[in-house]
Structure 1
Amino acid sequence: MEKLTAKLFLKETSQITQLTSLSGMWVYLALTASLLSFLILSVNMYSLVLSTVFGIRLILTRQRLVITSCLFLFLSFGCFFFYVHNQTVKGLQLKNEVVSNCLILVQPDTVEVDGQSLKFRAVITESGEKIKVNNWLRTKEEHDYFLNLDDRVCLKVSGELTSISVKRNLGAFDYKKYATEQGVYRQLKVDEILSKSKDKSFSPIGIIRSCRAKINRYITKNYPTTTASYLKSLFIGVKDHEFKANQNQLSRLGILHFFSISGMHVYFFLALLGYGLRSIGLFPEDIYGLEISFLLLFLGLTGFSTSVGRSVFYIAILKSVQRFRLTLSPLDAWSLALLFSLVINPYLLLTAAGQLSFGLTAYIIFLAPIIQKQVSQRMELLVFSVVLSILSVPIVAFNFFEWQIGSLLLTVILMPFFSFVLMPSLLGLLIINLVMPIGSVLNEFDAILSKGQEVLFKLNNLDSFHIVTGKLPLIVVGVAIVISIIWLSKVRPSFWFSVICLVGMVAVISGFKYCDPRGMVAFVDVGQGDGLVIKRPFNRGTIIVDTGGKLEVKNPAIEGWKKGSGKSSEVNYDIIPVLKSLGVASIDAVFITHGHIDHFGNLPMVAQQFKIKKLIYPEGTKNQSLFNELSKTLKNKKIPQVEVLAGTKWNFSEYQLTALAPLVAGKGDNDNSLVLKTKIKDKSFLLMGDLEKTGEEMLVRRYADLKTDILSTGHHGSKTSSNDFFINRVRPTDAIISCGVANHFGHPNQETLENLAKVNARVFRTDQQGMIYCTWTPFSSKLSQAKTVMLSE
C-alpha cells in the first residue's frame, strides 16, 4: 500500500512540477494574457504601445522556453478573447422585442425586493441568454413569494426585452458596461407573471446559488440590520440595501476598496478550518484536499466575486506548492492566479475590482521584503499599511476620482480589527444563534457596530483629509505607476529616495487637475429637474445653478408592504459624480433658482460632500416650507446665504453672471425663478429656471436685448413656458431641455418643440441625450459646440 501511495505521489509530482520549469517566469505569461485582454477587449493606443514595449523586453530575455510559452499563450488566449469579443458584439446587437410565454430561470441569490420593486438576474431557458429582470409587484402574495424565494424556479412571463441604458453623465457609474462584462445585454420589464414552477434540473452551480439564497434569507430574518449587512457582505458576498446605502460613505473614507478587495475573510476561514482538521489528527496530505475543496465551495458561496476568486486561486496555488514541494515564487502564484481568473472573467482587468485586487496584491509581493529589510518589526505593520495605501492612490483615483488621506491610517486600525475582532465576533454570533437564540446580545452588538460605523462616517466631514483628483488620463496614471515601479525595483531604497518617489507619485495624481486648461459648462442629466455646472480652467473655481432632486409624488395607497426602504442613491448617479470627475473639491457658489425640490433636492448631499462657499437664491424662496427647513440646516453648517433680486451681478473672471429676475420678493415658486444671463467666450447663455409665460412677458417688456446663443428652456419644456412671442425675441441657436426619461408630466410639450423649431433652434434634451456640455480653454476665443454624453462616448 505504501509503495502504491508513493508511486501515485511521484506521478502527481512529475506532472505538476512541469510548472517549475517556468519558475520565476510565469509573470511574463500573465502579462501576455493581460495585455491581450486590453488589446482585444478595450482597444486603445496605450495598450498597443505597452504591448510593443513588452514584446521587445520579452525577446531580450533570450529565454527560448519563456518566449515559446508566451507565443503559445498569445495564440490560445488571443483566440479566446476574440471569441469573447465577438460574443459581446453579438449580444450588444440584440434588438428590443416584446415576449409572451417566455420561460426564464430565476437565479435565487440575486433576488432583491424593496417594497413593490423586484429585481433579479435570470436565464432565458430557450436561448440561454442572461438577462436582468425588473418587475412591479402588484399583490402582497407576490411580494411575500419573492421575499422568501430561496430555490430555483422557472417563471413563464410576458413583457418587453430592451437594451440596458448607457450612462447619462460624465463620471457616472456605467451600468451597461458593468452588465456587459458579466454577459448581460438586455433587461426584461415584466408585464405579467403567467405561471411559476420549481426547476428540477440538476446543476451544481444552481445548487450553490440556492444555498447562498437560503443563507441570505436566514441571516436577514434572524439578525439585526447592520449585523446582517456585515454577515452577508463578508460571508456570502451579498450587498443588501443597507450596504448599498453606506457604500458612498465607505468609498469616501477610502476603505471600501480595502474592504472589498482584501479577501482576508478567505484566510480567516481557511486558518480556522486548518486548525480544526489538525486538532483531530489529520495529516497535511489529507488536509490539502479538504482545503482545496473548501476554497472552491467558498468561492461559489460568495458569488464568484473578484477578490475572493483571486484569494482562492492564490492560496490554492501556494498550498499546492507546499504539498508537491514545488519551487514557484509568490509572484509565480500571483501570475497563475491571474491567468485562471482571466479565463473565468476575461474583462477582469477592465474593472476597478480586478485592478485593485491584483494590482495591490502585486504591490504587496514586492513591498513585503523591502519593509522587512528596512523597518523594525514593531513599526512593520504601520509602515506597510501606509505605503500600500499610497501605492493604491493611482488605481483608486483613476476609478473613483478621489482618495482619502485618512485611509493611510484607517487601514492600520481596520486590518487587525477586521481580522481579530469583527470576523471572530460575527462568526461566533452566527454559530451561537444557530444553537440558541441570543436576541438581546445581537441587539447590543448591533447597536455598538452601528455606533462605531456612525463615528467612522463622521470622518467624511473633515474636508482637509479628502482629495478629489478628477478623471485622470491614462498617461498620468501610467506615469504614477512607473514611479512606483522604479521605487519598488530598488532592493534597499534610501529614505529620501523613498520620500521623493512616493510623494512625487501622489503629487502627480493629486495635482493634475490644476494643469488642465479646460473649462466646462455642463447641463447635467438630473432626471426630472435642473442642474448646471460651470467649471473654470485649471480648476480655479466652480459654480452650480440648481442641483436637481427627486420630485416625490405622494400616493396614500403606498403603505405597508408596498413601501420601499427609501434609501435611494439617485444623487450619486447625477450631479455628484460629475463634480468629482471634474476635480471639484469646493464650490464657489450654489444658485438655487426657486424653492421646488426638483431644483434643490440634492443640495443636502452636495453640501455633505463639498465645501460650499456661498448659497444664493431669490428673495421669497424661503416661503417654500421644504426649502426653508433646508436653509436652516445649512445655516447651522455655517454656509453663508444671500437673497437676491434682479440687477445683482457676480464676476468670475472668465465670465459674469447677471440676474434678470425676479424683480421683487415672491412666494418662491415658478414665476419667482432666478433668471441668469452670462457670456462665455463667444456664446451667450440665458438660464430660465422654471419661469412661466407671465415672467417671460415681463422679461420681454423690461429688457430690449434678450437674444442669446444657448437657452436653458423654462420649466423643463412645459407648455406653460417658452411661448411663441418670447422665443421669437430670444431666437436661440441651441435650446437645452432638462427633463426626465418618460416623465409623468409629458415634458417637453409638443407646443414648446414647435416654437423652437420656428426659429430653427437645435434642441438638446437630457432625457434623450444625457448630459449636454460645452468646453473652452484660455487659449481659444471660442466655446466648443455642444456635446452629449450618450452620443459622444
Structure 2
Amino acid sequence: MKIRTGYFAYLAIASCLGIAVSRSDTHWGPLSLLIVFFLWIYLQDKNPLRLLLLTLLFSAGFYGYMNMIESQNVSVHTGSETRISGTITTSIHIDGNKASFEMKSNKKESMVVEYYLQEQQEITLLESLEIGELCNWQGALKIPQPATNPHAFDYKNYLYEQKKYWIFSLDRLPESCAPGENISIFKGLQKYRDKGIKTIDEHMDPVVASFIISLIFGERRYLDHMVLEAYQKLGLIHLLAISGLHVGIITAAAFYTGIRLGLTRQSVNILLILLLPLYVVLAGGAPSVMRAATMTGVALVLLLFKKKILSIDTIGLACIFVLLLNPYYMYHIGFQLSFSVSMALILTSRKISTVNNGLLQIFYVSFIAQVASLPLLLFHFYQFSIWSPFLNIIYVPFFSLFVLPGAFLLFFAMIFYPGLLPLLVPFFSFPLQLLNSLAVWFASIPFGTLVFGKPFIGMMGLLVSFTALFFYLWEKKRLSAASAMLVGCLCFQWYIPYTNPYGKVVVVDIGQGDAIFIRLPFNKGTYLIDTGGAFPFPKEAWKERKREYNSGIDVLLPFLKAEGVRKLDKLILSHGDYDHIGNVASLWGHVKVSEVVVPLGFGGSELEEEILLEADYRGAKIQTAVPNIGWDVDTASFLYLHPAKAYENKNEGSIALYAILGDRSWLFTGDMEGEGEREVLLRYPNITVDVLKAGHHGSKTSTGQAFVERLQPDIAIISAGRNNRFGHPHQEVLDRLERSEAMVYRTDRQGAIIFEFTHRGGTFSTVLP
C-alpha cells in the first residue's frame, strides 16, 4: 500500500497520543485530544478513511507498546543490599565535596551513585577511575526523592523514565577496581567522550571550554550557572543544545571530506548513515540530538534510494523512530521542544522563504519558534521573556556563524595544532563573554519576564490547539484572526487567578524552616508568611560547590511562579531566624512585594537590616505587627495577636497571626515558645482554633500542654525538614497533639500541605500520601 505524502506527521502525532493515553491516570485528557485529532483528520482530509485507520492503528500500537514497557520497568534489587559489584557507565562528576556518576550493577541495572568526600585526597582517586571499570562498592540504596511540592520537579519519576530506581549512597570508595570485560563500542565511545571533555576542560579558558563542551559533546554542567539561567530565561537555551545545525555542519564537513578523498557520493552516504549513531553517543544522546541525527539519517537513506518525501514526513518518521527506541522520551522537554519547533518551522518554510531581508528572516524564524514553543515553555518554566524574539536576531547568527564553527575549529586545533590555541582562544573568548554579559543583563531586567503560571491540563490543551490553529490560519492568510485567538488564550491564562473562586493555603515543604503561602479567592489577596532558608555554614575551599542548593531559588520561587504570583500583598516575616527569612533575597526582582510585615525589635541583625534596606529601596511598605490590628477581605479576616514587645529571644517574639479562612480559624505561630504562648493565652483567654501551625517545627519548647488544651485544634501542621539534626518534631509534642485528638500533618513526611477553600469551607490534601 502506497502511503500518501504527509501521512507520517499524522502517524507521529497519533503515536504520541497513544503513549499519553497509556500513562495518563484518568485517560480522559489525552483521550479527548485523540478524539479531537481524529475529528480534525475527518474534516480536513479528502479521503480520511485510510488515514483514520492508520492513525488508529498507530495510537493503539503505541498504547500497547507503552503498557508493555511500563510492565517491565521494575527493579531487580530489593533495596537491602549494602555491597554491590558494578561497572562505571558515566564520567565521575566532582563538585566540591560531592561526587556523582552512574553505574550498572552485576544484575544489569543502572543506578545513580553519590559519594560525599571526607578528605581532599580522595579527589585524586576518583579522577583515576574510568568508564568501564568494575568495582565492589559499599553503601546503602536509597529511593530517589519524589516531588514534595505542587508543580515541583519529580526526580524519582525522572529516573524511573530512564529505568533507574535507586540512588546508591557510598560509605567509602573502593580500594581497587578492575577493567571491565568485553568493552562494547558504545562504552568505548563514552570513554572517548569523557576523555575529550576532560582534555578541553584542562587546556582551555573556563568560559570557552564550557561552551565548546556544551556545543560538541552536549554537556552543560560546565557552563556558569548565571549564564545558563539567563539563556534559559531569555528563550536562548536552544542555542546551547546540539540540534540540526550542528548535525548539518558535521554531515556537510564529512561529506566534503569523503568526496575530496575520492569516495563516491553513494559510499559517503552509506558511511554517514553508519556514523550518525556513533555521533549521537558522542554528543550525549539527548532527544534533540537523536531527532536531528534521525532526520539526517532518513534524508540520507531516501537520497540513497532516490526517493523523495516532504520534510514534514521526515520529522514524522524521526519522531516515530525515537519513540520506538524509548517511548519515555516523549516526556523529555528536549524532545517536545525539538519536534514542535522543527515541525512549525517546516510548516511555515514557504512563508519564511518569501522574506528577502536576512534580518527579517531571522526574526520570522525566531518568532515562529517562540510561538511553537510557548505552550511548553509555560508548562515547564511558567514564564516568557519579551526580549526573546529580538535577542534571537543577534544570538542566532552569532552562534551559527561564529560560536559553533569556532568551537569545532578550537577543538580540532587542540588535537592537531595545540600551539595555535593561545592565539585563537582570545579571538573567541572576548565576543563570547561580551554576549554572555549582555544576556545576564537582559535577564536581570524585571519587567522583561512575564510570569503566566503553570497552565492546568485543560488550559494546556487550549494553548496547544490555538497554537496549531495559529499556524493553520496564518497559512490561510488570516493572521489577524489567528493572532487574536492566541493572544486571547494567553490573556485568559494571565487572568486565571482573578477568575478562580477557590483560595488556597499551602504550607510549602521548604526543609527545616517555614514558608506558608495564602491566596484568597479571586486573587483578592496574596500573602507569604516566612520564606525558609538555610544558614550558610563556612566550608573549606575544596568542599565548596559551583552552585549550592538554595531552597529559595530551587523551591520557593518556582512554586510562586507556577502559581502565577507576580505580586505579594504582604510578606510577613515572623521573626529574624535564618530558617524563616533566609530566602527573602531570592524574591527581590522576581516578585513585587507591596508590604513587609515584621515583629517589634526586628532589624537587630545584619540579615534583618539588609532586608529592611532592600524593601525600602524597592518601594515596599514596612509595617510592624501590632496585637489587635488586622484586616478583612470579604469573608477572610486576619488579626495579629503577638508580640506586644520586643523579646531578647527571637523565637518568643515571633508574630502570631490569627485568621479565618474557608470557614475555619487558623493560628500561625512562627517559632513562638512557652513564654509567648502564655502571653497569648493571657491576652486572649477564650481563644480556640480549628487549625494550628505548631511552633518551632515541633520543638518540645513549643506547643505546650496548656496551649494545646486551651486551643483544642482539630488539625495541627508541623513544618520540619527530613532527618533534621534537631530531631524535630519531638515525640513529646506529637504525644500532646495525639492526646488532644488533633490530626497532624507533617511536611517532612507528607510534603506540602494544601488547603483549598471557598467562603463555605475547604479541604486538606498533601503532595505525598
The TM-score normalised by the length of structure 1 is 0.90
Matched residue, 1:339: 320
CA drift at 1:473:
2.0
Matched residue, 2:510: 526
Pair 580,102 (structure 1): closer, same or farther in 2 beyond 3 Å:
same
Q: Which AA in structure 2 matches 1:588?
A: D
Pair 376,442 (structure 1): closer, same or farther in 2 beyond 3 Å:
closer
Matched residue, 2:72: 87
CA drift at 1:128:
1.2
CA drift at 1:50:
2.9
CA drift at 1:236:
0.9
Is 1:452 matched with 2:435?
A: yes
CA drift at 1:299:
0.7
CA drift at 1:668:
7.2
Deviations 1:331-358 (A, max 9, x none): 1101110011101220222232222111
Query: Quick check: 2:500–2:523 contact (8 Å CA) kept in 1?
Result: yes
CA drift at 1:327:
2.0
**How many residues of Structure 1 are paired with residues of Structure 2 in the alignment?**
762
Is 1:323 matched with 2:304?
A: yes
Matched residue, 1:163: 143
Give me the whole-angstrom Cα distance separating, in 2, the residues matched to 1:208 and 1:496.
51
Matched residue, 1:218: 199
Deviations 1:511-534 (A, max 9, x none): 434333321111000001100111
Pair 532,248 (structure 1): closer, same or farther in 2 beyond 3 Å:
farther
Is 1:464 matched with 2:447?
A: yes
CA drift at 1:655:
2.7
Query: Quick check: 1:96–1:160 contact (8 Å CA) kept in 2?
Result: no
> What is the percentage of aligned positions where both structures have the same residue?
26
Matches within 5 A, 1:699-738: 699-738=680-719
CA drift at 1:209:
1.6
Matches within 5 A, 1:499-510: 499-510=483-494
Matched residue, 1:103: 85
Give me the whole-angstrom Cα distance separating, in 1, the residues matched to 2:617 and 2:515.
24
Give me the whole-angstrom Cα distance separating, in 1, the residues matched to 2:509 and 2:361.
48
Residue from 744, 760, 764 that aligns with 1:781:
760
CA drift at 1:716:
0.6
Query: Quick check: 1:594–1:670 contact (8 Å CA) kept in 2?
Result: yes
Give me the whole-angstrom Cα distance separating, in 2, the residues matched to 1:112 and 1:29.
40
CA drift at 1:308:
0.7
Counterpart of 1:790 in 2: which secondary structure? coil
Matches within 5 A, 1:260-339: 260=241, 262-280=243-261, 282-339=263-320
Counterpart of 2:530 in 1: which secondary structure? strand
Matched residue, 1:204: 185
CA drift at 1:73:
4.5
Counterpart of 1:380 in 2: which secondary structure? helix
Q: Which AA in structure 1 matches 2:13?
A: L
Counterpart of 2:166 in 1: which secondary structure? strand
Matched residue, 1:12: none
Matches within 5 A, 1:304-703: 304-373=285-354, 379-434=360-415, 435-436=417-418, 438=421, 442=425, 446=429, 449-490=432-473, 491-554=475-538, 558-667=539-648, 669-703=650-684
Matched residue, 1:14: none
Query: Quick check: 1:390–1:408 contact (8 Å CA) kept in 2?
Result: no
Give me the whole-angstrom Cα distance separating, in 1, the residues matched to 2:486 and 2:243.
22
Query: Quick check: 2:21–2:63 contact (8 Å CA) kept in 1?
Result: no
Pair 496,686 (structure 1): closer, same or farther in 2 beyond 3 Å:
same
Pair 428,687 (structure 1): closer, same or farther in 2 beyond 3 Å:
same
Matched residue, 1:8: none
Is 1:24 matched with 2:6?
A: yes
Matched residue, 2:122: 142
Matched residue, 2:768: 790
Give me the whole-angstrom Cα distance separating, in 1, the residues matched to 2:617 and 2:261.
62
Give me the whole-angstrom Cα distance separating, in 2, the residues matched to 1:560 and 1:312.
42
Matches within 5 A, 1:765-776: 765-776=746-757
Query: Quick check: 2:87–2:131 contact (8 Å CA) kept in 1?
Result: no
Q: Which AA in structure 2 matches 1:145?
A: L
CA drift at 1:244:
5.0
User: 5+ residue gaps in structure 2?
Assistant: none
Give me the whole-angstrom Cα distance separating, in 1, the residues matched to 2:324 and 2:99.
32
CA drift at 1:634:
4.4
Q: Which AA in structure 1 matches 2:506?
A: A
Query: Quick check: 1:41–1:347 contact (8 Å CA) kept in 2?
Result: no
Deviations 1:664-714 (A, max 9, x none): 234572122122111113111111111111211121122223311111111
Q: Which AA in structure 1 matches 2:766?
A: T
Deviations 1:328-384 (A, max 9, x none): 111110111001110122022223222211111111111222343478666332233
CA drift at 1:462:
3.0
Deviates more, 1:333-342 or 1:261-270: 261-270
Counterpart of 2:398 in 1: which secondary structure? helix
Q: Which AA in structure 1 matches 2:519?
A: K
Q: Which AA in structure 2 matches 1:84?
A: I
Pair 588,743 (structure 1): closer, same or farther in 2 beyond 3 Å:
same
Counterpart of 1:172 in 2: which secondary structure? coil
The TM-score normalised by the length of structure 2 is 0.92
Pair 184,245 (structure 1): closer, same or farther in 2 beyond 3 Å:
farther
Matched residue, 1:35: 17
User: 5+ residue gaps in structure 1?
Assistant: 1-17
Query: Quick check: 1:394–1:509 contact (8 Å CA) kept in 2?
Result: no
Matches within 5 A, 1:176-191: 176-191=156-171
Pair 699,70 (structure 1): closer, same or farther in 2 beyond 3 Å:
closer
Query: Quick check: 1:100–1:159 contact (8 Å CA) kept in 2?
Result: yes
CA drift at 1:275:
4.1
CA drift at 1:231:
1.9
Q: Which AA in structure 1 matches 2:152?
A: A
Query: Quick check: 1:476–1:508 contact (8 Å CA) kept in 2?
Result: no
Deviations 1:530-561 (A, max 9, x none): 0011112333441111111123345xxx4243
Pair 707,163 (structure 1): closer, same or farther in 2 beyond 3 Å:
same
Query: Quick check: 2:288–2:334 contact (8 Å CA) kept in 1?
Result: yes
Give me the whole-angstrom Cα distance separating, in 2, the residues matched to 1:544 and 1:445.
46
Matched residue, 1:739: 720
Counterpart of 2:652 in 1: which secondary structure? helix
Give me the whole-angstrom Cα distance separating, in 2, the residues matched to 1:766 and 1:651.
29
Pair 383,498 (structure 1): closer, same or farther in 2 beyond 3 Å:
farther
Give me the whole-angstrom Cα distance separating, in 2, the residues matched to 1:426 and 1:177.
35
Counterpart of 2:348 in 1: which secondary structure? helix
